[in-house]
Amino acid sequence: MAIASDSLSVPGPSETVGPSARVRLSRNGALAAGTVIVGVWVLVAFLAPVVAPHSPLDLDVMNRLQPPSRQHLFGTDEAGRDSFSRVLYGARITIPIAVGVIAVASLLGAAVGAVAGYVGGRVDEGLMRVVDVVLAFPSIVLAMAITAALGAGLRNAMLAILLVSWPEFSRLMRAQVLAVRSNEYVTAAQALGIPTPRLLVGHVLPNAFPPVVVKATLDIGNAIILTAALSFIGLGAVPPDPEWGAMIAAGQAKFEYWWVATFPGLAILSVVLGFNFLGDGLQDLLNPRLRRD
């Protein structure tokens, strides 16, 4: 490995004190890229009925499995439906589901974590053991079991994703509350006799919450992949629905019709990358002390 070449330079003050302008720029770049990608996809979700050249559900048996062309940018699927329109409409299913599920999961998880961290003692011990247990399951396996138990379908898949997503927020929020609690201004507020609920909501939570927002943004990406995975297996969206995972499943083992699975996958990849960039950028914006580089 060519390690020796740039040897012997001892990092000077300019390198160790504070993040370089370049790092800051690249992080802001992440925020900008994330905002643009997510923004475009949100627009697509809203405008799909206007922008899409075809209906996502219209069958055209004469034009089954056509390769991409000017008329069908992403080709057509096994029922002759326009893949491009279906990919656009897919944003209307996946993005609201992922955002909604993670919004609820983060609030629920954060509430549990805040109680555990603030109350401490046995309550803390008990709640954290529950969190540990849920985290011991690989998320897709537990989500599969829950969806199978409740019955296949997007609604139950959402519930399953919610149930596997909250515990990490609890762990994060608990650590945050423990850290914020030990600050002197909290002790001061306590000394002033401010009642516990107000202390928690007014003094502790606002300072403990930013990392939760960052994690929530990053987890939206995971929720999108999990939704698609459950649909891919056949436990989520029902076939004619233009859901990305289900569309990839329809293209499985049809190698000569590569376009059927490729484009919905690219849609997932880009939207998840967008949320990951956004989360990375937000981390920098919300908590400048957290810059790791």
Partner 1 sequence: MLLTYLGRRCVVALVALFGVVLIAFVVAHVVPADPLATVLSDMATKDPSVRAAYVKRWGLDRPLPEQFLAYLGNVFRGDLGESFTTRRPVLQDLWQFLPATVELSVAALLVAVGFGVPLGIWAAVRHNRAADHATRAIALAGAASPIFWTGLIALYVFYYVLEWAPGPGRLDTHLTLPPRVTGFLLVDSVVARNSELFASAVRHLILPATVLGWFVMGIVSRTTRASLLEVLAADYVRTARAKGLREGVVVGLHALRNALIPVITVIGLTFASLLSGAVLTETVFAWPGIGRYAVTASTRLDYPAILGVTMLTAVIYIAVNLVVDVLYGVLDPRIRAQ
Interface ranges with partner 1 (CB under 8 A): 1, 3-4, 6-8, 10-11, 16, 20, 22-23, 129-130, 132-142, 144-152, 221, 225, 228-229, 232-235, 245, 248, 251-252, 255-256, 258, 261-262, 264-265, 268-269, 272-273, 276, 292-293
117 or 264, CB closer to partner 1? 264
Query: Least distance to partner 1 from the beta carbon of 101, Å?
Result: 17
Q: Which of 57, 46, 51 is nearest to 82 (CA)?
A: 57
Query: Least distance to partner 1 from the beta carbon of 20, Å?
Result: 7
- Give the type of residue at 69: S
56 or 264, CB closer to partner 1? 264
How is residue 52 annotated by DSSP?
-
Q: Which of 117, 223, 231, 115 is nearest to 164 (CA)?
A: 223
How far is residue 276's CA from residue 216's CA, in Å, rounded to a whole number?
10
How far is residue 159's CA from residue 236's CA, in Å, rounded to a whole number?
11
Query: Least distance to partner 1 from the beta carbon of 199, Å?
Result: 29
Query: Least distance to partner 1 from the beta carbon of 30, Å?
Result: 10
Query: Least distance to partner 1 from the beta carbon of 15, Å?
Result: 9
What spatial distance separates the first Cα and last Cα of the chain, rounded to whole Å?
23
200 or 271, CB closer to partner 1? 271
How is residue 82 annotated by DSSP?
B
How far is residue 276's CA from residue 213's CA, in Å, rounded to a whole number?
12
Q: Which of 277, 263, 264 is nearest to 225 (CA)?
A: 264
Question: At which residue do the structure tokens 């555990």 appear?
Answer: 116
Q: Classify residue 1 as exposed, middle or buried by CB count within 10 Å of its CB (0-12, 13-18, 19+).
A: exposed
Query: Least distance to partner 1 from the beta carbon of 200, Å?
Result: 28
